[in-house]
Structure 1
């Protein structure tokens, strides 16, 4: 179903607009919509379109407008440059919850279409339109989800990777203004790239003008020129390019920016200043977050320096020296599956995983007050195929357990149909419990038979306030047959403190 008007022609690079009424009173909503255009592709792209602002809803067949079921809204990831887990099937979680919830997911603009920035865009358009698309869906849910049996007063937002980063950004949006759009937040592997200010992205805008042939246009007509361009012309400019002064292209070229409105300041600053919507949260990461992103050819410390510099444009040689000093080399054993990769791959994986996913997760949690219910996990489930490829327990490996392996469009490992199948009931049950009762221990799946001791109580990050734990933080370690609570070690907490301090230093230099 459309949640916004097609973002075409005069609506390109603008905030989403209300859709026009459809001519037919009843629409057939039986097929999945096209995804928004990602980077690095030509046009046309099968299954993708500029006209992509659609929402999907899964509901129990017997739900009515009086059902008031909890609502689970999922925000896809993809590094803000593509939608890598959109249109996942929500039917299984609805069915296995016993018809106890309504599932929603949707498309939003990414890459050049969602995050083109510059003062010209501010004057004659809108910044961060990809985030504004997401916000539009939350308002759509608020207005219409009761018609599908959902409770507009009980909406839990959930994101994966860039979707998880988006969840964090919605918590601090408009300086933490609470619009009553959600009562809980779930984040799988929070992705917080460098979020530049608008003036820092003028080079990107200038590149787009040149690459589309709009660079000779008067400044007052530049956006009009871009809006008149064929989608093919803009797709040719929608690719990763080196940051100024760097040699190689980054993994994620287009990102949200500090626009002074949706994002009034840097996310860490807003969290530190308590400018966020204070709701119960469920946050988690995987053991080897960086393995899918680190260069498999990293053969020396200098190759790590080059990789980090290409992905973090404001790092100096002093910063990279400090990083390499903090992370002792992690050699690969000759008998390890990762031996197929270069000797410094493991170090690069840990550094990138900490900097980009694991430590943003922990650092945001540390900004949240003690009274906020916080449930945290580390996913550490072995898989033969991952091990053979040298990935360990990689980024978002738990997704098949959260939604069910049939639900994630062919991305599930075969082990979820075999020896890792018990993780599906366990993990999905926790997530359903949080969506329904804002506590992962409150739910479980209808009809599931769990053996005694298989489902441990998930204690809060801050522990029992009636018991002295010396300030140590704890999380649920999810493993096949041995899931249990673990204390986050001082060494890991120290690494995250290091990244928090380094990030603040980089931001000060930029301003």
Structure 2
């Protein structure tokens, strides 16, 4: 927005106490906020693209070096929720939800340093169906940026919004005919282009960008590594992937998505329209949004360009960006289902799940590779303990699901990329986010997030007041920032920590624990993981 009279008055009022930071760039004149507690300047809600046409690619925001822009507040989330609750309509959705392509820049104040700062760019997860940059409890980048400064390896933190669910990942024969698949991933790529073009004005180095994500965000990072046959376009030089890689998430095609598209058009009264795509483009956002965010069925699709083939094939053919990476999973990722009591029910779940996409032959082989023995099932390290309320084969099925979704693809990516590049680092996260209880079992999905972001005030995933937890948080935050700074996570400055070897040198994982981290051989479940990695999903 243009610098309003209200905002101008606010700047004048603040100037007596502290002068708000201002950046002059080709994109505009950005008025940000100073955070004295962190010794950082932040520029929030920067639009990298104007409101896009629904179900069509976004376009990079035009440059206008003379326009004043308020960069003091987070932008609206892509679901229609934002930091300004006054924008919400009575139904819970606002048309601003489609004008959501913003990014945030967190810059440490660094004196006597001439070189530009490396950039660590965060892509949130949430099943490609939920998430936002305006989540300061879980995804507050100030803490990890602060740790980078404490370690004398300062980085700029950036987080980006992108379209999700139907608005970012819809597919059908109607969509395919326009070539507009994977819009959420293309939004992310556009944000990277904005960063590449403008981050120098904020003190960042466009040649030293590390992209970083968790879950769907990590799968997104993997897609960018494989995109366009590995042509990164100079947009990033390294990547960090937590619980997600370049393979593993289903690449369900048009047949899978067509019924979802048809249900969406029927739900908003467009089923009988001559042009159903144009009809759902014209439906008011607050009418279509409740149907566009239903379910967790939204995945990337092969489109022949951005995603030219299965990720596994790209890795096997060496058609991916040859860059250093950190890649890892949590010990007990999960993603199983409750209520599996028999072999027949396990096969039914595997063959009909929207995530696994395997046939009966593969499902039968999986059951042979994963015996119904609680002592070897997930969550691991619990011996013969079972949770019958979740199903007689809960631990067996959870073990299968963990390996299909996360563990096996992680090993495949580490093995494949280390054949081509130096600087591949693999980890296993073995510190739970909460104390284990009957309802929170093992080191499951999302366990590492509160540690990595290091916010002691988190309310959703608290670290608590544990000295060990805070020490582990400081270690992993510094490792990630050190990797972004000089492509080596070992430059963290914390004593008593084993050196993290490159995967090409020693086939191993760095195991993160609150009591004592260590190095392990990456040899768990060799036969079953090898079988999973022989499949193309």
TM-score by length of 1: 0.84
1:94 aligns with 2:94: no
Q: 1:327: which partner in 2?
A: 370
How far is 1:388 from its partner? 4.4
Separation in 1, partners of 2:94, 2:386? 36
SS in structure 2 at match of 1:411: coil
1:129-208 pair list within 5 angstroms: 129-190=183-244, 192-198=248-254, 200-208=256-264
**Counterpart contact for 1:109–1:130, Cα < 8 Å:** yes
Residues 113 and 411 (structure 1 numbering): CA distance in 2 closer, same or farther, change over 3 Å? same
Q: Is the 8 A contact 2:450 2:463 kept in 1?
A: no
Contact 1:115–1:130 at 8 Å: present in 2 too?
yes
The equivalences for 1:410-421 within 5 A come to 410-415=459-464, 417-421=466-470
Distance 1:2 1:335 in 2: 53
Structure-2 residue corresponding to 1:249 = none
Look up the SS of the partner of 1:304 in the other structure: helix
Aligned length: 468
Normalised by the size of structure 2, how large is the TM-score?
0.80
Q: What is the alpha-carbon distance in structure 2 between the residues aligned to residue 312 and residue 427 of structure 1?
A: 30
Query: RMSD in angstroms over aligned alpha carbons?
Result: 2.9
Shift in Å, 1:307: 3.1
What do the CA deviations read for 1:250-269 (whole angstroms, capped 9, x no partner)? xx311111001111111111
Structure 1 residue 492: Cα displacement: 2.1
Query: Unaligned regions of 5+ residues in structure 1, if any?
Result: 242-251, 445-449, 465-472
- 8 Å CA contact 1:161–1:189 kept in 2: the answer is yes
Contact 1:74 1:105 in 2 (8 A): yes
After TM superposition, give the deviation of residue 421 of structure 1 in Å: 1.9
Matched, 1:70 2:104: no
Name the counterpart of 1:307.
Answer: 349
Partner of 1:247: none
- 1:337-376 equivalences under 5 Å are 338=387, 341-370=390-419, 371-376=421-426
- Give the CA deviation at 1:175: 1.2
Flag the 1:256–1:437 CA change in 2: closer, same or farther, 3 A: same
Matched, 1:423 2:472: yes
Distance 1:32 1:306, change over 3 A: farther
- Residue 281 of structure 1 corresponds to 325
> Structure 2 matches for 1:438-453, cutoff 5 A?
438-444=487-493, 450=494, 452-453=495-496
Q: Distance in 1 between matches of 2:276 and 2:62?
A: 28
Does 2:156 align with 1:123?
A: no
Q: Distance in 2 between the 1:63 and 1:145 partners?
A: 18
Task: After superposing the two structures, state which structure 1 stretch, 356-365 or 307-316, moved more.
Answer: 307-316
User: 1:172 touches 1:267 (CA, 8 Å); kept in 2?
Assistant: yes
Q: Structure 2 vs 1, CA of residues 456 and 23 (structure 1 numbering), >3 Å: closer, same or farther?
A: closer
1:482 aligns with 2:499: no
| CA distance in structure 2 between the aligned counterparts of 1:157 and 1:279, rounded to whole angstroms | 11
1:53 aligns with 2:101: yes
SS in 2 for 1:477: strand
- Separation in 1, partners of 2:504, 2:432: 28
Structure 1 CA distance for aligned equivalents of residues 309 and 357 of structure 2: 18
Deviations 1:163-196 (A, max 9, x none): 1111111011011113011111100011632102
Give the gaps of 5 or more residues in structure 2: 1-45, 82-89, 376-381
In structure 1, what is the equivalent of residue 445 of structure 2? 395
Match in the other structure for 1:237: 291
CA distance in structure 2 between the aligned counterparts of 1:228 and 1:235, rounded to whole angstroms: 12
Structure 1 residues 228, 257: closer, same or farther in 2, change over 3 A? Answer: same
Within a 5 Å distance, the mapping from 1:12-91 to structure 2 comes to 12-19=54-61, 25-37=67-79, 43-45=91-93, 49-62=97-110, 67-83=115-131, 87=135, 88-91=139-142
Partner of 1:298 in structure 2?
A: 340
